[in-house]
Amino acid sequence: MNKNCLHRTSRRARAVNRFLVMCISLGVLVGCQSSKLELPAISASAHQTVVWHDLLSPDVETSGKFMANVLGWNVSTTEYYTSIYDNDGRLVGGMVDTLAMEWGLKSGGWLMSMQSPDLDVTLALVSENGGKVLLPPRAYPNRGLSALVQDPQGAVFEVLQLSAADDAEPVDDGVWIWHELITTSPQASAAWYAKVFQLEVESMDGGRQLLKKGSLKLATISSNPFEDQRNQWIPVVATGDFETTVGRVSEWGGRVAVILDPPVSSGRLALIQDPTGAAMLLQEQEQE
């Protein structure tokens, strides 16, 4: 994303990344409460780097209604955890009830999970290259080993070593069409992720960096356009009817925080927040 292309809605944009600050502050609370979570078993191919997305929400009912009415997604809820499905019934992610978990989070946010074949090795690379392990590895039944980490520029994400489970459900990775890291140092961030996850980097116009694995393009890294926001990973979701979808955001209690103008070549973009403050990018994509 280009700084000169972004229009801000000042006060609204300031809440986009509160989640990262709160995520770091979870500390021991997550470890104490993690046994309550019954996570769905998932499977992912070896080439997938980003394998999961969890929405941490203090109001799962409102978040669920927002996703259903804006994105057409459906939810299936247990006491503490909600599985999210697209309109074809395919699993796309999950949602944690942070109120029921007593985590004390006042706003929501998406937590991206990157796959590792060996969590210990990856965490060693995280630390050796200037990152931080915020929460050490813990095991989730049928899911695998998980750790919360932070890159040197402050972006927070999960590293996940999946376990093999007989009832593992394939994740519809086609819903999340892209991932964008906004950061204060795109080149340094790209080099860090390349070292930690054995990826390649390709420079793009405007100082953007492309992360890829062989011929597979994975994510882009660009300059953080906000003066008052921490660096963060933002998931990108496709929409065939851009104007209608963006219009529903406000109708169902969300915010259109930032829009791209002029449109990028691959379609218009809108940075939105759900009613709890969780941010994602909507990208216009032609319907097949």
Domain ranges, ordered by start, for the chain: 3-16+172-284, 18-170
**Average confidence (pLDDT) over 151-158:** 94
Residue 2 confidence (pLDDT) above 60: no
CA angle 257, 132, 43 (to 5 degrees): 75
Q: How far apart are CA 158 and CA 30, in angstroms?
A: 13
The contacts of residue 21 (CB under 8 Å, 6+ apart) are 230
Residues 78-134: tens digit of each pLDDT? 877 899 999 889 899 999 888 877 766 677 888 999 999 999 999 999 999 999 999
Q: Are 75 and 83 in contact (CB under 8 A)?
A: yes
Lowest-confidence pick of 13-22, 96-105, 180-189: 13-22
Q: How far apart are CA 51 and CA 74, in angstroms?
A: 19
The helix/strand/coil state of 101 is coil
Output phi, psi for 236, to 5 deg.
Answer: -120, 130
Place of tokens 């503490």: 80
Exposed, middle or buried: residue 165 (CB in 10 Å: 0-12, 13-18, 19+)?
Answer: middle
Round to the nearest angstrom and report the end-to-end CA distance of the chain. Answer: 26
Residues 18-69: tens digit of each pLDDT? 444 445 444 333 443 455 667 777 777 777 888 899 998 999 999 999 999 9
DSSP H or E stretch at residue 235: strand 232-239
pTM: 0.81
Output phi, psi for 32, to 5 deg.
Answer: -70, -35
Question: Does 18-170 match 3-16+172-284 at the fold level?
Answer: yes
Fold adopted by 18-170: 2,3-Dihydroxybiphenyl 1,2-Dioxygenase; domain 1 (3.10.180)
3-16+172-284 CATH, one of 3.10.180.10, 2.60.120.260, 1.10.287.70, 3.40.605.10: 3.10.180.10
Q: How far apart are CA 96 and CA 84, in angstroms?
A: 11
